[in-house]
Every structure is written in structure tokens, then in C-alpha cells.
């Protein structure tokens, strides 16, 4: 019974495939796998917008949306109707083709990452040999879409926003990949399915998740910081800072194209969160051995929602960083920590298991963390700023 419930989607798909002729089965199989993802995650996006507005409201002692439907639950529907019926404005001097293509490319690229995320046991679209590499490769296409949006609008704000966004994404892609390397090293594979399988066992009731090791917890923290920056979320939302460059690269977009940008941004956030779950939080596996009767996909989405809640909490708490703070955090703290963390994971791999391994590996990451943190604090010089090009 538990087994059947766990595999219900896989079994349903196979049952449905029985009705189509053998020659059409590969294409039907692909459609049956892809369509739920294409529906499910945008639905999650709709729910998240409501959760975010409610959550942010409560974090700031407000009510949040409470007019449309019970507890404002129909707010996403109202938003969708509004954005669909709004006038689609294209600036007169804009590059029309590129202006149109940018949101399409962004949304498409954001969807591509889901191909390698194991949502549940046996529930992955493509079990790719180089799954993690694929994920980061399609993630880098987003930068191009952002540039296209910013450049084609012919507006200084959108161009500034695009340049900020690209600079930020490139800077944080390095720590993002370096932070994920520790999990790849330990699993010995780039395949997401293999990485999840590696974490599936239990010692007593405790799972073998990578986050429960010194290098794992540091890797997870660095990955989440870099993921926040990659998805342009607060406190790293400089590319779209409302108070300075209004909305950044998508300022000249309205109506459904604007909604597509929003969708792409949230899908990117879900995808990187899903990757963090896959790499460090054991993918779809249950947190305790006695909870394995709950279906695997439930665990995946529970973890995803927990991470989203974390994102919202962070957004409701921290103010926006300045550009130089953003860069110094990336290059002076996160990057050295990620490199050290790789060394730590290697040492962990070769030391015999025991308390000594724990102590040594914790010390290797904890001491530099404190030292680098002090370095970040000490380097604060308050002085009149001089600008190289604006004199």
C-alpha cells in the first residue's frame, strides 16, 4: 500500500502508456512526464506569491492580502487576470524582436532545470549522466535572457539593472558551483539520482544527508547564500531595487510579459532550492527512518516549502546590500570558504570515521569562518567615496 502510494504517479503513467501504440510511446512518455512539471511548478508559483505576501505581512505586523476570497486565497487568480488583461506596452525605440524573445527565453530556461531534479523515488524527467552540470549550464542561459531584456528596452534603468544582474549572477555562479562540488565529490557522480541514492540510508533513525557533516552544513549555507543572489532575491535584489532603479531589467515590460519575468524568477528560485535539497538535504528521502511510509514526493515538496519559507523570512528581515558589499561578500568570504570546504570534504573522505574526523573537519571550516568574518568586519572604512569616472 505504502509502495503503491509512493509510486502512484509512476504507475499511473505506465497505465496510461498502455493505451497508446508502441511507436508513439516514447513521445507520449515524454509528454506525460513533462506536462505535470509544467503545470505543477507554476501552480506552486501561484501559491508562493500568496504565501509570500501573507508571510511578509505578518513578519512586518500587517495582515497581507485578505480581500479576495477566504484569507485572500484567490489573490493569485486576481493577479493573473489583471496581468493577462493589461495592455502590453512595447517602448517605441525598443528592439521589438529581442524585447519579445527575452521573457520567453527566460521562462523556458527556468523550466529546463527541472529536467534533472528528482522529485520523488523514480520520479525524474531525465536521469542524466551529467545532471548537475546540465543544471548549471541551463542556469547560465538566464543571464543571456536578462541581458536581452535589459538591452532591448532602450531604457537606462533596464540597462543598469541588466548589468547589475549579470555582474551579480556571474560572481555568484562561481561559489554556487564550488559549494555544490563537495556533494558531487562525496557521491562520486554528477547524476542527481545517484547523489540522492547516496544519501538514502539511515543510521538508527538518522538519515545520511550531506548536511549532517561539517562540510555539508557549510556547503549548504554557502549554496543557499549563492542561490539567493542567483535568483535576485532580497537582500541581494540590487538588479531590481525598486527604490533605485525601479524594477531593473524588466521595467519596460507590462502585462503578461511582466508576469513571465516574475514566473521565471520564482521558477529559478524553486529550481535552485530543489537542487539544494537534492545535493544536501537528501532529495526525496524522509528525515527519520520511521517516517519513510510518507510518499517521497511529499517529502520533496515539504522540504521545498520549508526552503521557500526561509527565503521569505530572509526577505522580510534583511535590508538590501550595497554593490561593493555584495562583491566583497562573494570574493572575500564565500569563495575562500567554498574552496576550503572542498579541502575539508577531501579530508573527510580520507580520514577514518570517528570523533577525531568530526573535530578536525569542524575546525578546518569553523576557524577560517570566524577569521574571514572578522576580516569582513575590519575592512569597513567610513570615508568620503571617490568615483573613478564621475568627476
Partner 1 sequence: MVGEGILKGLVETARNFFGSYVGKDRLTTVQYPEERLPQIEAARSFPFLVYDGPDWDKGMRCVACQICEKECPPKCILIKKSADKKPDAVGKPQFYPAVFNIDISVCMSCQICVEVCPFDAIKMDVDYDLSTDDRFGDLLLDKERLAKSNEYYNAIHPTEAAAVDAHFAEERAKAEAKAKAATEAKAAAEAKVAPAAQEQPVGGETQ
Partner 2 sequence: MTVTFLILAVITVAGTAAAMGLRNAVHCVLALTVGFAGVAAIYLQLDAQFVGLTQIMVYVGAVAILAVFAIMMTHTPLPAKPPTYSSFWLLGSVVAAAVFAVLAWAICSSAASTQGLPPEPEVSVQQIGDALMHQFVLPLEIMGLLLTAALIGAVVIAMDRREETK
Binding site for partner 1 (CB under 8 A): 55, 58-63, 313-314, 316-318, 333, 369-370, 372-374, 376-377
Angle value at C-alpha 188, between 184 and 189, nearest 5 degrees: 70
Is residue 353 classed as helix, strand or coil in its secondary structure?
coil
| Residue among 151 and 300 whose Cβ is closer to partner 2 | 151
x/- track of binding to partner 2 for residues 81-110 (CB under 8 A):
--------------x--x------------
Angle value at C-alpha 290, between 288 and 294, nearest 5 degrees: 90
Show the DSSP H helices in the chain as ranges: 2-6, 8-17, 25-59, 75-85, 96-112, 131-139, 141-152, 156-187, 192-198, 214-230, 242-245, 255-280, 296-317, 323-328, 335-350, 355-378
Contact partners, residue 170, CB within 8 Å, separation at least 6: 143
The position carrying cell 513533462 is: 34
| Residue among 48 and 191 whose Cβ is closer to partner 2 | 191
Cα separation, 268 vs 147, in Å, equals 16
| Residue among 377 and 391 whose Cβ is closer to partner 1 | 377
147 binds, among partner 2, partner 1, none (CB under 5 to 8 A by kind): partner 2
Residue 266 beta carbon to partner 1: minimum distance, rounded to whole angstroms? 21
Task: Please report whether residue 252 would count as binding partner 2 according to CB under 8 A.
Answer: no
- Binding test (CB under 8 A) with partner 2, winner from 41, 45, 151, 262: 151
Stretch that binds partner 2, among 134-142, 206-214, 282-290, 298-306 (CB under 8 A): 134-142
Stretch that binds partner 2, among 56-64, 122-130, 243-251, 264-272 (CB under 8 A): 122-130
386 binds, among partner 2, partner 1, none (CB under 5 to 8 A by kind): partner 2
| Residue among 32 and 59 whose Cβ is closer to partner 1 | 59
Residue 320 beta carbon to partner 2: minimum distance, rounded to whole angstroms? 24
Cα separation, 29 vs 18, in Å, equals 10
Residue 166 beta carbon to partner 2: minimum distance, rounded to whole angstroms? 6
58 binds, among partner 2, partner 1, none (CB under 5 to 8 A by kind): partner 1
Q: Which three cell numbers stand for residue 182?
A: 563537495
Q: Which three cell numbers stand for residue 286?
A: 524522509
| Residue among 96 and 322 whose Cβ is closer to partner 1 | 322
Helix 131-139 with 156-187: angle, nearest 10 deg? 170
Cα separation, 289 vs 105, in Å, equals 42
Residue 63 beta carbon to partner 1: minimum distance, rounded to whole angstroms? 5
Q: How many residues does the chain have?
A: 391
Cα separation, 130 vs 163, in Å, equals 30
Task: Please report whether residue 133 would count as binding partner 2 according to CB under 8 A.
Answer: yes
Task: Please report whether residue 189 would count as binding partner 2 according to CB under 8 A.
Answer: yes
| Residue among 66 and 83 whose Cβ is closer to partner 1 | 66
Amino acid at each position: 500500500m505504502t509502495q503503491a502510494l509512493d509510486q502512484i504517479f509512476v504507475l499511473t503513467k505506465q497505465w496510461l502508456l498502455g493505451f497508446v501504440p508502441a511507436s508513439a510511446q516514447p513521445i507520449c512518455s515524454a509528454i506525460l512526464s513533462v506536462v505535470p512539471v509544467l503545470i505543477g511548478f507554476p501552480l506552486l508559483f501561484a501559491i508562493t506569491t500568496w504565501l509570500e505576501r501573507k508571510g511578509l505581512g505578518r513578519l512586518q505586523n500587517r495582515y497581507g492580502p485578505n480581500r479576495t476570497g477566504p484569507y485572500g486565497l484567490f489573490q493569485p487568480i486576481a493577479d493573473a487576470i489583471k496581468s493577462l488583461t493589461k495592455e502590453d506596452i512595447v517602448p517605441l525605440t525598443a528592439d521589438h524582436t529581442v524585447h519579445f524573445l527575452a521573457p520567453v527565453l527566460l521562462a523556458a530556461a527556468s523550466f529546463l532545470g527541472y529536467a534533472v531534479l528528482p522529485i520523488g523515488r523514480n520520479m525524474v524527467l531525465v536521469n542524466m549522466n551529467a545532471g548537475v552540470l546540465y543544471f548549471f549550464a541551463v542556469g547560465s542561459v538566464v543571464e543571456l535572457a536578462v541581458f536581452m531584456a535589459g538591452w532591448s528596452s532602450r531604457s537606462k534603468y533596464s540597462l543598469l539593472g541588466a548589468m547589475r544582474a549579470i555582474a551579480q549572477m556571474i560572481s555568484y555562479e562561481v561559489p554556487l558551483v564550488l559549494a555544490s562540488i563537495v556533494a558531487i565529490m562525496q557521491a562520486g557522480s554528477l547524476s542527481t539520482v545517484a547523489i540522492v541514492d547516496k544519501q538514502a540510508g539511515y543510521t538508527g533513525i538518522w538519515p545520511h544527508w550531506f548536511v549532517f557533516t561539517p562540510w555539508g552544513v557549510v556547503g549548504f549555507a554557502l549554496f543557499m547564500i549563492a542561490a539567493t543572489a542567483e535568483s535576485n532575491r532580497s537582500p541581494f535584489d540590487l538588479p531590481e531595487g525598486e527604490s533605485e532603479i525601479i524594477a531593473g531589467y524588466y521595467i519596460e515590460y507590462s502585462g503578461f510579459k511582466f508576469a513571465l519575468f516574475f514566473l521565471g524568477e520564482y521558477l529559478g528560485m524553486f529550481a535552485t532550492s530543489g537542487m539544494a535539497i537534492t545535493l544536501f538535504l537528501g532529495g526525496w528521502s524522509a528525515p527519520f527512518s520511521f517516517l519513510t511510509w510518507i510518499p517521497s514526493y511529499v517529502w520533496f515538496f515539504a522540504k521545498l516549502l520549508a526552503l521557500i519559507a526561509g527565503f521569505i523570512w530572509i526577505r522580510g528581515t534583511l535590508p538590501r546590500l550595497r554593490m561593493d558589499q555584495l562583491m566583497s561578500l562573494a570574493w572575500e568570504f564565500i569563495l575562500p570558504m567554498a574552496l576550503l570546504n572542498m579541502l575539508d570534504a577531501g579530508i573527510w573522505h580520507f580520514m577514518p570515521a570517528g570523533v577525531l574526523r568530526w573535530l578536525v573537519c569542524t575546525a578546518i571550516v569553523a576557524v577560517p569562518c570566524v577569521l574571514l568574518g572578522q576580516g569582513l568586519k575590519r575592512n569597513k572604512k567610513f570615508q568620503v567615496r571617490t568615483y573613478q569616472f564621475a568627476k
